[in-house]
Amino acid sequence: MLRVFNTLGKKLEVFRPVRHRRADVFTCGPSVYQKSHIGNFRTFLFEDVLVRYLEYSGLPVKRGMNFTDIEDKAFEEARKRRTSVKDLTAENIKDFIREMRLLKMKIPDYLPRASEAVDEVVKIIKQLLTRKIAYRYRGNVYFDPLKYSRFGELYGLDMTRWPREKRRFHRDTYPGMRWNLGDFILWHGYKEGELDWDTPIGRGRPSWNIQDASLVLKHYRGTLSIYCGGIDNLFRHHDYTRAIVESVRPYPMAKFWLHCHHLVVEGQKMSKSKGNIYYVEDLLRDGYTADEIRFFLIYGHYRKKLNYTKENVESATERLRNLRRKMEMIRRKAGRKSEVDREMLKRGKDAFQRGMDDDLNVEKAFDQLYEFIDGIELEALKPEAASGLIKGLKQVDEVLKVLF
């Protein structure tokens, strides 16, 4: 049985979907004011493996992922490049989808842009204003977290630290991994030079922190089985999203919350100031294939930092190549044999599943599979056993997408 670490509750739990026959999953998508780097793709590939493993286990998934195409950073970047926000974000979305396909990621059932859900945002804000959970101030609309009794549970925020005086934070995001202790913005009032909408609540645009909530409420009815994102979303984001959704709906937003840790570069945080940001195209230029890039980014445990170094990429790549060489020998041994040794098929899959069921530990799953395959004596391997192994590996590769 699959056990995952639920951020809500801070413990390992047996995964059981809300619906008996389907898992509804929503994953935070990219902010498309810039091109996605390999650190972003580390999280998106973890989510891809999660969805694929649920489907491998026999559970259909209905998955949504958003594009954040309206935010402060998008306007700042567009001004810097002397282009429009629409053109800027459209180019980055096109690149992102191309690289999703290159890395063999499943395209979600819903892949909406935040700009497509402004009507839903307005609907939510009107409800929050009516319930006096949100309020207007100088053309903006703010959410008062103290009006939501479970605020901060995901992160584990100590609400005794909350200031007594009223504070408002008017930007979409703030630098650093820290909390803004105060009211957060839902709606930016009209500002010249920014993309805006004329709506029943006034002229302006949605804030970043209401966008995920609007897309979840637009596309799903009922509690999500899983909500995913990067660990940085635990600061000033997912608790906000949960508070908004659960303030307008009478049931929990999600049963399980999963968060992927950062990719770092030689032990350091990836940043423009350090000049250590790497993109998929950089690794391709270094001679790695898309499969090898995918493997490096998924080969680890999602709740641990992944350290990008030339040595670590080369080590992971060589490990994958070694297994593929042994698999090719097994494939040749199988020939065109139609009979399948069911016991050998089961043993191969069991080696993989033991690791995956342990909180989606891809490194453990792959290593156990590697050791099992590496320990096989090719001379003694019968064709039907080889055929069973190849069949099992092809099924496993519906999750990993790096073996064939």
Instruction: Report d(CA 212, CA 117) in Å as an integer.
Output: 10
pLDDT at 177: 85
348, pLDDT greater than 90: no
- pTM for this model (two decimals): 0.95
Q: Picking from 31-35, 385-389, 398-402, which range would have the lowest pLDDT averaged per residue? A: 385-389
Q: Which two tokens stand for residue 128?
A: 């929050």
What band does 342 get if pLDDT is binned at 50, 70 and 90?
confident
Average pLDDT over residues 160-167: 93
Mean pLDDT of the chain: 96
The CATH code of domain 3-260 reads 3.40.50.620
Average pLDDT over residues 89-117: 97
What band does 303 get if pLDDT is binned at 50, 70 and 90?
very high
pLDDT at 28: 94
pLDDT at 345: 86
Average pLDDT over residues 282-293: 98
Residue keyed to tokens 């990008």: 308
What is the residue type of 71?
Answer: E
b/e sequence 209-242, b meaning 16+ C-beta within 10 Å? bbbbbbbbbbbbeebbbbbbbbbbbbbbbbbbbb
Fold (topology level) of 310-400: Four Helix Bundle (Hemerythrin (Met), subunit A) (1.20.120)
Domains 3-260 and 310-400 share a fold: no
What percentage of the chain has pLDDT greater than the value 90?
93
> Higher-confidence residue: 77 or 337?
77
What band does 338 get if pLDDT is binned at 50, 70 and 90?
confident
Instruction: Report d(CA 351, CA 371) in Å as an integer.
Output: 9
> Higher-confidence residue: 337 or 226?
226
Average pLDDT over residues 298-307: 98
Q: Where are the alpha helices (DSSP H) in 35-102?
A: 38-56, 72-81, 85-102
Residue spans of the domains in the chain: they are 3-260, 310-400
pLDDT at 194: 87
